[in-house]
Structures are given as C-alpha cells and as structure tokens.
Amino acid sequence: MTTPPGRQPLLDALTHLGAHAGRRATHVRGYCAVGHFAPDDEVAHFADLAILRDGPLPATVRFSVGGSDPAISEKTRNLRGMAMRVHGVHESYDLVLVSEPIFYAATPVSYLSYLEAHAADPNTGVPDPLRIAAHELRHPDTLRLPALLASHAAPSSYASTPYHSAHAFLFSGADGVMRPARMVAEPEAGTRYLSEAQERQLPPAFLEHEMDERLLQGPIRFQLYAQLPAVGDPLDDPSMPWQGQERVPLGVLLITALADNSCDFMTFMPTRLPAGIDPSDDPMLRARANVYAAASLARRR
C-alpha cells in the first residue's frame, strides 16, 4: 500500500501553483458575508444535534473562487467555494463546500500527483503535458471533476449554484444509529450559469457587485440538506458522485449582508463539527484537515 503524503507535501504542492504570502494557498479570491442559519423543525428526527436546538444561529460565510491567483477572473470555469461557520451557544460548526458534487481526487496520493503534474515546469514556465498524461494514466479518478467543470460555464452568481461537501459525515440519531450523509446547500434562486454572451462581455470581477445588488431585494437563501447514499455509494471517496436521491432538510441559511474582509483571517475547518456529527473514514478528509491547520499557521507567519 502507498503511504499517504503528510500535510507538508500537499501544502507545498498547492503553494507551488502560485500562492501569495499571507494569503490562502487556494480559494484566494473571495468575499465575506453574514447571515444566520435557521434549523428545520424536523431535524431532530434525523440527527440529535444540540447545536441546532437553540433556534436561528448567527453564521459567518466566505464565498470564493478556487485557485491561488487573487486576481483570477470570476468567469473561470473552476470551483466556487462557500465556507460557513454556524456559531452555536456552546460550539460551532464549519461547512466548507464547493460548487460541484465531487472533488479532484479519491486519495491524498492521487491529489498530490495531480497538483505536482499541474505545476509549472521550471524550464518552460508551463505544466509539462507528458507529466500530466503520465499522471492521468495512474490516477484516472482526477479526470472526473475537470470534465464536469468544463461541461458548463461558471455560475452567474454565488447565489445561483449549489454547494456540496463531497465528503460523507456521520450523523448520530436520537436512536443511537449513525447515518452517513453528504451535505448539500441548494440555492433558492436556482442553478444558473453564465450565458455565452455573459462569458464574453462581463468584466473579470462582477460577483461582489452582483451579490450587493441581489441583497437589496432581501436575504439570499440556501436550503441545507443531508444527502443519503444509495446502496453502493462510496463513503470514503469524494471524487465519486453519489446516486442517492434522498435528502433530509436540515435548515435554511440566510445571507443578509456582505461583510468586507472580516473573515479573511478565519480558518474554516472541515472537521470543526458539533456533537452529533463525526468525520467519516475518508482519507481525503483527514489529510485536508491537517493541511488547513498548517496552511492557516503559514499564512499568519
């Protein structure tokens, strides 16, 4: 069995894609927002979560475009991120979600290989196509997300795309049973991607203004669901889509205002979970949490 890489090789590989000192290693371009999370009345039938018993809770949210370039065009066909912290009275809950149902790789080894293959070759200044081809032969799991991203334009708004956890988490029911589920945030505004004309005509930065205008009409809403697996859906591979159609409503996230750069120094941790939710055995989730801790320290130095 191949030994999984430690956190430093993954962070170095991300940083080699062009990180900027003092900034996040990826998802650099982003905006902070505030709002609250209103739990669904029925949530207790699915999971016993003390944090959600206290009614609507304040939430800090960061929307982002994937990648290490702070000036990346917001029309780029790559991942959008929505990270949020739900502030409970005694504990908090971070959800760090992306705009596709899957992530780049099945395992840390495969993700490291993907990142290294896509780094610029020091001799040419661009990634080496032969290295990419060799990587893709060894790790076909990393072909799925790029194909999905290329299949449609970027979201026309941070409020018009769903967001997904890609990892499974384990929810403890009042009956003592642990149920696996992935998290999904569905936008009330529906899913809308840029038209061809918008892809040509919009400036590279439009998302903040778009959200400002949208908020003049009232809060932006996302319905949060726990997506249940169908038989055979993998619990430990975030590069595989799930076939499971059943979704349990957990509550509604309302975004009420943009909040400048107030969340820039926060580190949203995919394993900051309230009592009643546990990480699954997904090795990517473990690796990821370690890298976030190292990345957070590195950008504060």
Tell me the closest approach of the beta carbon of residue 201 to ligand HEM, in angstroms.
Answer: 27
Query: For residues 36 and 288, which CB has a smaller minimum distance to ligand HEM in the complex?
Result: 288
Query: For residues 197 and 265, which CB has a smaller minimum distance to ligand HEM in the complex?
Result: 265
Give the other-Cβ count within 10 Å of 121's Cβ: 12
Total length of the chain = 301
Tell me the closest approach of the beta carbon of residue 76 to ligand HEM, in angstroms.
Answer: 15
Query: For residues 73 and 165, which CB has a smaller minimum distance to ligand HEM in the complex?
Result: 165
Q: Where on the chain is the footprint of ligand HEM (CB under 6 A)?
A: 10, 14, 24-27, 30, 62, 64, 81, 83, 96-98, 103, 108, 111, 165-166, 238, 267-268, 284, 287-288, 291-292, 295-296, 299
Give the other-Cβ count within 10 Å of 1's Cβ: 4
Radius of gyration of the chain (CA): 19
Q: How far apart are CA 162 and CA 224, in angstroms?
A: 10
Tell me the closest approach of the beta carbon of residue 277 to ligand HEM, in angstroms.
Answer: 15
Question: Are 40 and 249 contacting, i.e. CB atoms less than 8 angstroms apart?
Answer: yes
Provide the sign of the torsion angle of the four alpha carbons 283, 286, 287, 292, taken in this order.
positive
Residue 53 three-state SS: helix
Query: For residues 36 and 85, which CB has a smaller minimum distance to ligand HEM in the complex?
Result: 85
DSSP 138-196: H-GGGGHHHHHHHTSPPBSSTTSS-EEEEEEEEEEPTTS-EEEEEEEEEETT---B--H
Instruction: Calculate the alpha carbon distances from 50 to 88, 91, 170, 277, 278 in Å.
Output: 9, 9, 15, 10, 14
* Chain residue at closest Cβ approach to ligand HEM: 81
Q: How far apart are CA 233 and CA 229, in angstroms?
A: 6
Query: For residues 44 and 294, which CB has a smaller minimum distance to ligand HEM in the complex?
Result: 294
Tell me the closest approach of the beta carbon of residue 291 to ligand HEM, in angstroms.
Answer: 4
Tell me the closest approach of the beta carbon of residue 284 to ligand HEM, in angstroms.
Answer: 5
- Tokens 């499971």 identify what position? 244
Tell me the closest approach of the beta carbon of residue 101 to ligand HEM, in angstroms.
Answer: 9
Tell me the closest approach of the beta carbon of residue 296 to ligand HEM, in angstroms.
Answer: 5
Query: For residues 63 and 173, which CB has a smaller minimum distance to ligand HEM in the complex?
Result: 63
Query: For residues 70 and 173, which CB has a smaller minimum distance to ligand HEM in the complex?
Result: 70
